[in-house]
Amino acid sequence: MTNIVTQPLNYQAGDATMHGHIAYDTDAGARPGVLVVHEWWGLTDYLQRRAQMLAELGYTALAVDMYGGGQVATAPDAAGALMNGVLGDMNLATQRIQAAYDALAGSEHTDASRMACMGYCFGGAMSLHAARLGMDLRGVVSFHGSLGSTHAAEPGSIKARILVCHGAADALVPDEQIDGFKAEMTSTQANYEFIAYEGALHGFTNPDATANGDKYGLPLAYDKATDEQSWADMQRFFSEVMI
């Protein structure tokens, strides 16, 4: 019987206070840690649910705040402004993902020798950025994330194994970006796996994606079967890298 707790965890990244949420099983002791990085909307309830789901699987999970102060956008213009504020300063992005790593690794509920990072959309890009930086991670998972390189990794510098869960019908990630990512992973000698799910659009894991796509005219859609399959693929991947 698990006893899952999800609670706020504030931590510093430079001058900014980040409002994360940590989830863990109080009866399990120190468990492998997983950073969970949000979509462009910010750290919504959806990400907190994902952190809780990871805790139920036996991990200590930190839903990461990349915007500071727990900022959450409710419209694409605001989300884009928040996201671009981070993407426009990759030193800031690096500082914030490192601060989240340190906060999770420093928790008494985390086995800091076994850490991973995963994310959705913008969060997938940030997770891959962490891998490219050579952070001490066992594994990195990107769900419908941008694949473009923000950091030129040197051959042999990527320590983490990488799993990319990609929607084959994702109009927001062009084929050229996919080809570039695969070439980059090969050139850097990274250990990676790329899964493309037939018919899946951008946002396929988020139950709100279809409504948001209709409301804002964006090519987004939830896909229950692909959501469940990609989560199962993630579980299999983590079971391999966290041993």
Domains and CATH numbers, the chain: 4-241 (3.40.50.1820)
Q: Exposure pattern of 126-138 as b/e (b: 16+ CB <10 Å)?
A: bbbbbbbbebebb
The mean per-residue pLDDT over the stretch 65-79 comes to 97
Residue 30's Cβ-side half-sphere holds a number of Cα atoms within 13 Å equal to 11
Note the pTM of the prediction, 2 decimals.
Answer: 0.97
Tokens encoding 123: 């969060």
Confidence of residue 109 (pLDDT cuts 50, 70, 90): very high
Given this model, what pLDDT does residue 34 score?
A: 98
Model pLDDT, residue 117:
98
For a pLDDT cut of 70, what percent of the chain falls above it? 100
For the cut 60, the answer to whether the pLDDT of residue 1 exceeds it is no
Among 106, 101, 113, which residue's Cα sits nearest to residue 138? 113
Per-residue pLDDT band for 154 (boundaries 50, 70, 90) equals: confident
37 beta partners: 64, 119
